[in-house]
Amino acid sequence: MHETSPARGRSLIRGRVLLGAGLLALTAGALGAPAGAAAASGPSPRPSGVHERIVDGEVVTEEKPWIASIGGEGHRCTATIIAERWALTAAHCVGPGDTPFLRIGSLDRTQGGFTAHGVRVIQHPDYNWPGYDAALIELDRDIETTYSPLAEADDVEQGQPAEVYGWGSERPDWGHPLPINLKYATGANIGTDCTPASPAVLCFGEGNGTTAGGDSGGPMRVQSRQTGEWVQAGISAVGPKPSGWWSGYTNIVEVRDWIRETAGV
């Protein structure tokens, strides 16, 4: 993540950064897996060196068949399975030509569940971090499981209950080691004003934890007040470092048509 970066878990967020593993540390950044970090004043096409994890929050004990770790033992980012051959993650986590390893449906990123490799990565055509920070990974085999249901416009509104998931750092400074077991935090969709982005990100906050490096690409799920069902409304994209009161998630509604056209779901 950048410091003005992609999303991560919630606990102590200051700055913005990408929430993936091995990304640079910025005031706000992408939430990839942790590594060395470097401050940045604006978006970056693909930050390197930041990973997210859930700071505070709780360990997941119930099955989440749609969750996936990109990298497994060498965790890089979090993802969700949305169809037999498709995983959804943040664009700053993967790029064209990548063939990432995924461990799917296991709460332990080092064993169990299903495994697959990506054969094609498709970033959103308008990706310019943190805007449109979404990517689809086409898998090398069919995964028969329960898929992550994606939100429609009527499902998303400010103030609704929300939860976020990931294998990101448990430390506000995004440091290692990363957790072996999947973690989550509960809170709320607090609106779209936590950080500058175009289109606006969904903001997670007011919860019992927050994101950090390694959480990038993971889901923000909300409880629809239309149906009462839990659906995926966001993709972890940006957050402050050290972790703080907010985490920013790519709004699924903004990329929903592209997902349909590309993955057929």
Residue 263: its H or E element: helix 252-263
The phi, psi pair for 234, rounded to 5°, reads: -150, 165
Query: Alpha-carbon distance 122 to 98, whole Å?
Result: 10
Query: Alpha-carbon distance 219 to 59, whole Å?
Result: 15
User: What average pLDDT does this structure show over 27-50?
Assistant: 41
pLDDT band of 46, cuts 50, 70, 90? very low
* Percent over 90 (pLDDT), the chain: 67
Task: Provide the pLDDT for residue 123.
Answer: 98
Pairing mode, if any, of strands 58-59 and 209-210? Answer: unpaired
Q: What is the pLDDT of residues 76-93, one digit of tens each?
A: 999 999 999 999 999 999
* Percent over 70 (pLDDT), the chain: 78
- Mean residue pLDDT across the chain: 83
Task: Provide the pLDDT for residue 140.
Answer: 98
Task: Provide the pLDDT for residue 22.
Answer: 39
Beta-carbon count within 10 A of 58 CB: 12
Task: Provide the pLDDT for residue 207.
Answer: 86
pLDDT band of 18, cuts 50, 70, 90? low
Q: What is the pLDDT of residues 187-214, one digit of tens each?
A: 999 999 999 999 999 999 998 988 878 8
Higher pLDDT, 35 or 12: 35
Tokens of 164: 């976020």
pLDDT for 158 beyond 50? yes
pLDDT for 231 beyond 70? yes
Lowest mean per-residue pLDDT among 21-25, 39-43, 56-60, 252-256: 39-43
Query: Alpha-carbon distance 129 to 7, whole Å?
Result: 11
Residue 258: its H or E element: helix 252-263
User: What average pLDDT does this structure show over 104-133?
Assistant: 97
Q: Which residue in the block uniquely carries the two structure tokens 């986590």?
A: 93
pLDDT for 138 beyond 90? yes
Task: Provide the pLDDT for residue 17.
Answer: 53
pLDDT for 15 beyond 50? no
Task: Provide the pLDDT for residue 11.
Answer: 27
pLDDT band of 29, cuts 50, 70, 90? low
Query: Alpha-carbon distance 102 to 10, whole Å?
Result: 24
pLDDT for 100 beyond 70? yes
DSSP state letters, 166-228? E---SSTT-PSPPPSB-EEEEEEEEES-SS--SSPPEEEESSSEE--BT-TT-EEEEE-TTT-
| pTM for this entry | 0.84
